Amino acid sequence: MDMMTELLEAVSADVAARRIPGAVLAVTENGSLIDFQAVGTLDPDSARPMPGDAIFRIYSMTKVFTALATLLMVAQDRLRLTDPVAEWLPYFTDTRVEGAGALRPPRRPLLVEDLMRQTAGIGGGYHTSANIKPYYEQAELQKYDHRSELPTLDEVVRKMARQPLAADPGTVWEYGMAMDVLGRILEVADNRPLDEIVDQRVCRPLGLHDTGFSVRTADLDRVAQPFVTPPGLVTHQERPAWLSAGSGGYSTAIDFAKLLCAIAPDDDGQLAIPALGPITRHLFVDQIGQLAGGGPDYIPGPGYGFAYGLHVPSSDPTWAALDPHAQTVGWLGRAATSFVHHIPSGVGAVLMTQCYGRAVHYRDQVRSIVTRHQATSWT
C-alpha cells in the first residue's frame, strides 16, 4: 500500500464515521508534488464534494509563514534574532517574571529568537502555565480564534506586555501568543501590515495564491466548515483588525504542498528560497535542546524538539531516545490541519480538514504514516 492510499483510507474512515466532513491530502517527494486527493464534503450542511482547492483555517500553521518572513528579514539585515524585543517594542522594557507569587525583572532580556522558538515565557495558549494563567484570564487574553469584533494586533501586544512572563526567557517552552508579538515587530521593522509582509516576502515568491489572513469574497464558496462550529467563528473577507502572526491564516493543501517543496532542504542542506541565505539550515535544526518536554502543553511530542514554527528531531539525546523514529519536521493547526516532511527520505504529506479537538490526533496519524513510508515507496 502506498502512502496516499493509506492516508486516504484513514481520513475516509473518519468521513464515513462523520468525525470530519471531508479532507484534502497532498504527498510530496524531494521538492515535487507526487499526489493530490480530496475526499468527503466541503460543508456538512451541503452535499457539495470537497474541492481540491478548498480553503482552510490553518491556525498555528500560520507560524511557519511568520517564521519564514522573519528569517528573510534577518537575511536582509532588517532585524536580528538576538535583538531585545524592547528595542522594537519599548512597552516591553518593564516586563517582569512571575515567581513564587512575586514579580521580578527577568535574568536576561526577552529576545526576538525567544518569540520564534516559544521560549519567551508568554502565555495565552489553551494550556497557559498556572502561575500566569490568572493574569491572562483577568486581562481576557487568549490566542486568536477567527472571531469578529477583535482588537488590533498592536492593542493585543501592548496588553501582553503588561502581563508577567511564566519564566525567564530561554528557560521554558511556553506555547502561547509569542508569535503575535513577533508579528508586531515585523510590522514595525518593515513599516507595513503583517499580511502585506507575508504576502510579498513569502507567498508571492513561492506562488501561493490562496494563503493569507482573509478570504476574497469571490472565494468564500471554497471555505471548508467543520461539523461543530465554535461560537463566533467567522471567515474574514477583509483584513482583520488583529493580524495574528500565530494563528490567523487561511490556506489550501496545494499551497502548503508548494511551501513544503520549497522549504525541504536539498542534498547540501540548503533550502529553495535563495534570499534566506546561510541561515536556512537553522529552520530544520532543534533550537530548544533540553527544554523539550517542558512547559504545560508540549505539542511536539516525545523525541521531538522545536525550531522556528516547526517540530524537528530533538537535539537532546535523552529526549530523542524516547522515539528513535522521530525524523520529521512539520506542524499542525487547531482545526486539524497538519504537514509533515520526513528528513531521511524526502517524503512529505499535507492534511487539510476542519475538526476541533482532534488536531494532535490527525498530526500524529499523518506523522506515523509518513514515517513508515520511505522514498522507495514511489520507485
Domains, the chain, in order of start with CATH, read 3-64+192-374 (3.40.710.10), 70-190 (3.40.710.10)
pLDDT tens digits along 22-81: 999 999 988 889 999 999 999 998 889 999 999 999 999 999 999 999 998 998 999 999
In angstroms, the CA 280 to CA 273 distance is 8
What does the mean pLDDT of the chain come to? 92
Query: Has residue 138 got a pLDDT over 90?
Result: yes
Tell the burial category of 221 from Cβ atoms under 10 Å away from its Cβ (0-12, 13-18, 19+). Answer: middle
* 273 — pLDDT class (breaks 50, 70, 90): low
* 266 — pLDDT class (breaks 50, 70, 90): low
Could you tell me if 291 and 304 are in contact, meaning their C-beta atoms sit under 8 angstroms apart? no
* Dihedral angle sign, alpha carbons of residues 110, 84, 160, 56: negative
Question: 178-190 and 153-161 are packed helices; what angle lies between their axes, rounded to 10 degrees?
Answer: 120
Could you tell me if 174 and 131 are in contact, meaning their C-beta atoms sit under 8 angstroms apart? no
Query: Has residue 12 got a pLDDT over 50?
Result: yes
Beta-carbon contacts of residue 219 (< 8 Å; ≥ 6 apart):
55, 210
Torsion region of 98: left, alpha or beta (phi above 0 gives left; psi -120 to 50 gives alpha): beta
Tell the burial category of 358 from Cβ atoms under 10 Å away from its Cβ (0-12, 13-18, 19+). Answer: middle
The gap between the terminal CA atoms of the chain, to the nearest Å, is: 13
Single pTM value for the model: 0.94
* 241 — pLDDT class (breaks 50, 70, 90): very high
Residue 335 Cα distances to 73, 165, 226, angstroms: 29, 27, 8
